[in-house]
Amino acid sequence: MQYRALYFTVLGGLIFLVAASLGNGIADRPLDYSDWTYRAFRGVCHQLPERSFHIDGVPMAVNARCFGIFSGLLAGWLLIPVASARLFRQGWPGILLGCAVAVNVMDFSAGNLWVWNSSNFSRFFLGAFLGVGVVCMLADRFIKTTNKTD
Amino acid sequence: MEQTTSANGRNTASPDPGYWTSVLIVSGIFSIAGFAINIIFGYVQIASEPGGTVFSPMMLGSVVVCLATCLGGLAAVWHVTRYITPRMKLGRGALIGFLTGAMIVLFSTLLNELWVIFDPGYTERLLDSVVENVEAMDLPADTQDQMIDQMAAGVRDTSVFQQLVVGIPVTGLLNLLTGMLGVRFFAVKEEDYTE
């Protein structure tokens, strides 16, 4: 694998991201939006309680779509070391990422225009799709190819 | 500066700390644009009647800003590859992305602090308007309370230092990822070069 230090740095960051996004419920603490876990995500997520999963009755620190994105990023990132470079050679990661962005934009827009009402689970899975799409775009740079001359 | 030639004939230079210019330009533009959008939507929120909709003007503004904020790393890498050097390793893109995210948080925090000096009553009026909107929503009382707490916490005073400490890691990491995407999209592949 190439860029080992970068890979493990990002891995650590993603584990932190997913763990922190679980909010206070996972630590059996009451909801307090002034806690650091909630403040940390304020700039990147609307954190609406009705659009977030709850753990033990306490909303997570991010909404379902953001949690899906972070989970997809982490799941995809964990699979990079066991993936083959040939998987990412055909240009399909770009198509996958484009589709993931498009369906998320459509779902978000349609939800807010009351065309349809997504559930938290559908938002989570669409977000995860986007997270995995981002990792697929980056994966081949981390996988060492045998025919590469350094 | 070391000159190299790419396989496609483009003359390039080795990366140098000139990327700071791109980091500052992009983070400055994104911060000012994000701040302006937030302020505009904030005043629209204050001026509007409570409609009881989940996505109030302030909420829409924050969604637009959060999306744009995460793309800062991508934009900074594009700027470097466009104006400084098309050659960039993944790690350099990640660093540029992280620094851009960190600077966006820094600039945005300072701009917001400055606005409170310019219009001291803004935060209070915005919070009142948001609370009225939530109270007009057709939601259970405990959900309304949670939403009011969440929004009040969002505009409540915290020190600049606290805002930076909690804001930089998440925004920095997300921009680090988009910075790497920027390398993938805009930088010339390393194997395209003849040293």
Residues of A in contact with B143 (CB under 8 A): 49-50
| pLDDT tier for residue A150 given thresholds of 50, 70 and 90 | very low
* Span A105-124, pLDDT tens digits: 898 888 776 667 788 999 99
Contact B30, B105 (CB under 8 A): no
* Span A4-22, pLDDT tens digits: 999 999 999 999 999 999 9
Task: Note whether A59 contacts B146, CB cutoff 8 Å.
Answer: yes
Q: In this complex, is the C-beta atom of A12 within 8 Å of any C-beta atom belonging to chain B?
A: no
pTM summary value: 0.85
Task: Note whether B149 contacts A3, CB cutoff 8 Å.
Answer: no
Residues of B in contact with A46 (CB under 8 A): 59, 62-63, 66
| pLDDT tier for residue A145 given thresholds of 50, 70 and 90 | low
Q: State chain A's mean pLDDT as an integer.
A: 87
Higher pLDDT, B191 or A58: A58
CA distance B183 to chain A (A): 9
Task: Note whether B54 contacts A138, CB cutoff 8 Å.
Answer: no
| pLDDT tier for residue A54 given thresholds of 50, 70 and 90 | very high
> Which pLDDT does position A13 carry in this prediction?
96
Which residue does chain B place closest to A101, by CA atoms?
B67
Task: Note whether A3 contacts B91, CB cutoff 8 Å.
Answer: yes
> Which pLDDT does position B156 carry in this prediction?
64
Task: Note whether B94 contacts A34, CB cutoff 8 Å.
Answer: no
The mean pLDDT values, 10 residues at a time, for chain B of 195 residues are 45 61 94 90 83 69 80 95 91 95 93 89 84 78 76 70 87 95 87 49
Q: In this complex, is the C-beta atom of A36 within 8 Å of any C-beta atom belonging to chain B?
A: yes
